[in-house]
């Protein structure tokens, strides 16, 4: 069951609801995407609305993955790109809220999502000047090793910057993929 990826899909209710459901399912399965379980789609909605506002303003772009065998076309993977507004940093983009639905993990979809994100940053209109992709991830999850396998290098680490719970602080790891 391969995924098909679309950059900048039309935003409608089905897309919004699909991203919210995915985000809640990933969070509740322990994914490090900004929330600590248990969380509901309604609790995530304000964060998604901020992403959607960024999309409407042109500074944020969405990459969506859908299972080609799913007749409903449900969202099973996402990554958001954000352009830098700082004039000295417009040559790289942020990648964040990188998610694959838990029922599809272990099938290579994460690798496919990262490859699609890299391809978009290299070739999509509006990314012509992009030389690198930067992301952050939560320490203690092992996801930094996943990103390293996708070609990202750790370029910084802020110890104990993320407080998951009292007494459970994690490093904020900065990773970079050079495109040039």
Is residue 128 within 8 A of residue 93, CB to CB? The reply is: no
93's tokens: 């983009």
- Domain locations in the chain as residue ranges: 3-130
The whole-angstrom separation of Cα 116 and Cα 56 is: 22
pLDDT digits (tens, 9 = 90+) for 142-157: 999 999 999 999 999 9
| pLDDT value, residue 1 | 62
What is the third-level CATH fold of 3-130?
A: Aminopeptidase (3.40.630)
Output the pTM of the full model.
0.96
Average pLDDT over residues 58-72: 94
Please give the pLDDT value at position 47.
Answer: 98
Mean pLDDT for the chain? 96
pLDDT digits (tens, 9 = 90+) for 66-106: 998 899 989 999 999 999 999 999 999 999 999 999 999 99
Strands 75-83 and 3-7: unpaired
Burial (CB < 10 A; 0-12, 13-18, 19+), residue 159, is exposed
- Span 113-129, pLDDT tens digits: 999 999 999 999 999 99
Q: Are 95 and 134 in contact (CB under 8 A)?
A: yes
């Amino acid at each position: 069951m391969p995924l098909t990826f679309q950059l900048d899909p039309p935003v409608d209710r089905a897309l919004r609801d699909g991203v919210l459901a995915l985000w809640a399912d990933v969070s509740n399965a322990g994914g490090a995407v900004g929330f600590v379980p248990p969380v509901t789609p309604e609790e995530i909605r304000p964060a998604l609305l901020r992403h959607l506002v960024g999309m409407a303003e042109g500074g944020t772009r969405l990459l969506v993955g859908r299972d080609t065998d799913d007749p409903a076309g449900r969202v099973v993977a996402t990554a958001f790109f954000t352009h830098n507004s700082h004039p000295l940093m417009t040559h790289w983009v942020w990648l964040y809220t990188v998610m694959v639905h838990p029922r599809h993990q272990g099938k290579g979809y994460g690798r496919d999502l990262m490859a699609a994100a890299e391809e978009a940053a290299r070739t999509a209109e509006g990314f012509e000047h992009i030389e690198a992709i930067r992301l952050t991830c939560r320490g203690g999850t092992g996801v930094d090793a996943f990103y390293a396998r996708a070609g990202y290098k750790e370029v910084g680490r802020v110890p104990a910057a993320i407080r998951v719970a009292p007494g459970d602080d994690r490093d904020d790891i900065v990773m970079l993929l050079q495109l040039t």
